[in-house]
Structure 1
Amino acid sequence: MRLRTQITLLIVSSLLSVLFFFSVFTYYTFVRITTKSEIGVLWNAAQTILSLPGIRTPEQWNYTGWLRSSLMPQELIRIIDPHSNIKLQLQTDKELSQIPAQFSTQTFSKTLKTSEALMVYIQIPISDEEQHTIAVLQLGRKLDALDDYLNVLLAVLSFTTAVAALLSLVGGMYFARIILRPIHELAQIMESIQKSGVFKRVVMPPSKRQDELGRLIHTFNAMIGKLETNFFQQRQFLADASHELKTPLTIIESYANLLKRWGGNDAKLREEAIDAIQSEASRLRNLTHTLLSVADPESPSTEEAAAFDLEELVLTTAASLQHAFHRDITCEIRLGQKMMHGNADKIKQLLIILLDNAIKYSDERVIVTLEPDPRDAGIAVLKVIDRGIGIEAAHIPRLFDRFYRVDQARNRSTGGSGLGLAIAQNIARAHRGTISVTSSPGLGTQVTVMLPLG
């Protein structure tokens, strides 16, 4: 069963249930109030009859003249002896004789519904001077007008219920269609995306942004946006990776063919080819390593996480790169003897990436600072500062994209693949930290990494 049909049936059934109980309540409340009023009239009439002198004289029960003035239209007056025999009866309608004649010392009132009429009657004991019950007085009334009113009321309630059911059916279908229209559009867009592969979003009116469907559409659009971004990033990653791998492989293949044809007898050509193949193979190995680093999970595993001295790690790593590159690297450490919990190898890799970039693109001294965050002593702030060529502001937002390079020719000449900062960002995120870059062309670059110590 379709959801629209289910909603429509739910609306109709709910409304019909409410109307049914309302109609039943209205009907029986009207009957109760009206019959109670009529019974009150009978009680008043009974008190008048009981005050007559002949009511307690059995000899008077054989005559009806003294009671005829008390008889009202559509009414019955009876006197019943202890043997349930009717001693006196006056009535204006023969249907009133259907009221049962049964002696009882109890005072009560009842409603009698027959196929022909609706009647109410009461009984009250008649006592002599010694307070012995000698008979009972029974008064009854036929409620013809009430019966007609009830028929009209029942017809009106039935008609209104039927009209309400029809209107609720039409209204339920209409409102279900309006309510489910965004979901229908959402399903169509999903099917379209599945068939065409083109990412689409649902247009949401401003008035619908705060309800549940609006939140659903907003979440769907946000999810599609992320999927679209990831899809194009993955496609760009594959294209860039293919391009980066294609160049060294092409060079290796070309020199291998050259060696195969003419390099056997030419020592100089053979040496050139071997050097080129070795260089490109090394570059290919490094590129493969960085690709695997990017593909690694961003969060370090439980086995790799441990407490280590961040200050010592920064000092030893900086000293190693200073010796390897014969460059001046100054460390300004103000963190104190605080331990960091994380993956020491990954943090060292992050620092090497930042120092390698600083050394490549600057000729002056590189400065490394490590200090606690002034706003939170539990966060370490690591900065790598150079006085190199700097970066244009337009390039900074894309520095952490994989394979992105500010200057393709310059990075190729320095051996860069555009993956270093992407790896550094993954390492920082895996340690619940952040990394940012500030730079000015000709003045240098500063990379700031904030790492929680705990």
Structure 2
Amino acid sequence: MRLRRLIYLFSTVWLLITLLIVNIAIYLLFYKITTNGELDRMLAQTENIVSAVSPDNNVDTKELLRAYLPANGMISVVDRNSHSIVTTTKNTKMRDYTPEFKNSQSSEIHHINGETYGVVSLPIIWENGQVVSLEVTENLAEMNQTLNELKIVLIIAFIVVIIPSILGGRLLGNILLKPINSMINTMKEIQQSGTFKKIPLGHKHQDELYKMADTFNHTMDILESNFEKQQAFVSDASHELKTPLTIIESYASILKRWGMKSPDVLEESIEAIHSETVRMKEMTNQMLQLAENPEDLNLEFSSVNLVDLCEKTAQMFEKAQHRQVRVQSAVEQALTWADESKLKQLLFIFLDNALKYSSKVIQIMVGREGENVFLAVQDHGIGIPEDEVDQVFDRFFRVDKARSRQSGGTGLGLAIARQIVAAHHGSVHLDSVVGEGTKVTVFFPALKTGSTSNVKGD
């Protein structure tokens, strides 16, 4: 069943049931109030009759009862055997009605020959000293007429309310489904055209439907942005992989032609193929790492002292690259909750970039700032132009493409660094001046001594 029909059906049936319950409740309540009122009136009248037929009165009982006889009703005096002692009535329909003896006061509604009658009975002492029952029966035709008129009013009110309500339900359904249908049509257009489109919002009140359409538009923005990044990533990856593949193919052709005849050509070709294969392997591993979500990095969190980490990493880097690295720290401990191996990888990425783009001493600074601890890597190299600072963490971006390619860089290191920082709930900030150098600073939440962390991955 379509949602539109479901809304129509639900709203109509629900309103129909509600109106029926309300109307039936009104009718029953009015019926109860009316019948109780009529029976109370008849009871008061019957008590007056009981007072009038006292044995002390010398008035003829039949004449007295005839004087109190209600219009279109009957008064009977009944003994214990339910035999009528005295019966007075002007209604011929009541002649076949048999009164019943009751030894206590009662007020009831009876239906006689399709009509509604009120019957009130009170015990009295008759002339011979016997206890008899005085029963007054009255046709409640006026009450029935009033109740019938109430039925007609309720039916008319039901029709008057239900028809506009059904039309209102249809209108409400159209209003509710309009943005949904617009969203469906927009999605179909996206599927057919392959382009991202948005729902026109216009100037409307910011209700839930407006927010739903606005959320859809924001989702389209995110999807479009991710699609463009994916396209750029595929394009850049294809471009980056094309070069080593071309080199490998070229040297393989050279080997096929002259490799067996010339030892120099053989050695050069094998070295080139090995070098490009290593670079492709590194690039592939880095791209696979970037394809992972931060939640899929399998981080092993523990308490890490950034001071010790930077000092040990600097020593390793100095021995491997034969470049001087100085560590400066204003504190003895800078504790954070992190994966130590990932922080080493992060630090190596920054040091490797500093090594490629500068020839002077590399500085590492460690400290604490507010609720955060930080590490910073400072080089004194070529620097980064101001208009490119925001792009350095993008995949395959290079400040100096020729030099980076020569040194074996893939342009993925800083993108991986940003991913590692995000996985540790940190932030990264970069300052650079062309010709003077670059400083990259990473902030992590500080961990107090003796405390634990609830960071995901703990």
Same topology, TM > 0.5: yes
Aligned-pair RMSD on alpha carbons? Answer: 3.3
| In 1, Cα distance between equivalents of 2:64 and 2:270 | 145
Partner of residue 228, structure 1: 224
SS in 2 for 1:448: strand
Cα–Cα, structure 1 residues 310 and 154, in superposed 2: closer, same or farther, change >3 Å? same
Partner of residue 70, structure 1: 68
SS in 2 for 1:137: strand
Partner of residue 450, structure 2: none
SS in 2 for 1:336: coil
SS in 2 for 1:109: strand
SS in 2 for 1:411: helix
Which aligned pairs between 1:73-92 and structure 2 lie closer than 5 A? Answer: 73-92=71-90
Which aligned pairs between 1:44-443 and structure 2 lie closer than 5 A? Answer: 44-52=44-52, 60-61=60-61, 64-97=62-95, 99-114=97-112, 116-127=114-125, 133-204=130-201, 207=204, 209-211=206-208, 213-261=209-257, 276-277=272-273, 279-295=275-291, 298-299=294-295, 305=301, 309-337=305-333, 341-372=337-368, 374-376=369-371, 379-443=372-436
1:306 deviates by: 5.1
1:348 deviates by: 1.7
Cα–Cα, structure 1 residues 236 and 97, in superposed 2: closer, same or farther, change >3 Å? farther
Cα–Cα, structure 1 residues 333 and 133, in superposed 2: closer, same or farther, change >3 Å? farther
Q: Percent identity?
A: 34
| In 1, Cα distance between equivalents of 2:378 and 2:215 | 41
Provide, for residues 290-340 of structure 1, a one-character-per-residue CA deviation record: whole Å limited to 9, x for no partner: 334434553576685555554233123223434554444321023424665
Cα–Cα, structure 1 residues 268 and 301, in superposed 2: closer, same or farther, change >3 Å? closer
Consecutive unaligned residues of structure 2, counting only runs of 5 or more, are 448-452, 454-458
Report if aligned partners of 1:335, 1:380 keep a CA contact under 8 Å in 2. no
Partner of residue 449, structure 1: 442
1:263 deviates by: 6.6
Per mean C-alpha deviation after superposition, the further-off stretch among 440-449 and 234-243 is: 440-449
Cα–Cα, structure 1 residues 114 and 85, in superposed 2: closer, same or farther, change >3 Å? closer
SS in 1 for 2:387: coil
1:121 deviates by: 1.9
1:196 deviates by: 4.2
Letter in 1 for 2:90: T
Letter in 2 for 1:14: W
Letter in 1 for 2:84: I
| In 1, Cα distance between equivalents of 2:53 and 2:321 | 137
Cα–Cα, structure 1 residues 290 and 48, in superposed 2: closer, same or farther, change >3 Å? closer
Per mean C-alpha deviation after superposition, the further-off stretch among 276-285 and 176-185 is: 276-285
SS in 2 for 1:447: strand
| In 2, Cα distance between equivalents of 1:345 and 1:45 | 102
Provide, for residues 102-142 of structure 1, a one-character-per-residue CA deviation record: whole Å limited to 9, x for no partner: 11111111112345422112111122589x54322221221
1:233 deviates by: 1.9
1:54 deviates by: 6.5
Report if aligned partners of 2:117, 2:137 keep a CA contact under 8 Å in 1. yes
Partner of residue 29, structure 2: 29
Partner of residue 456, structure 2: none
Consecutive unaligned residues of structure 1, counting only runs of 5 or more, are none
Per mean C-alpha deviation after superposition, the further-off stretch among 251-260 and 151-160 is: 251-260
Aligned residues: 447
| In 2, Cα distance between equivalents of 1:296 and 1:334 | 36
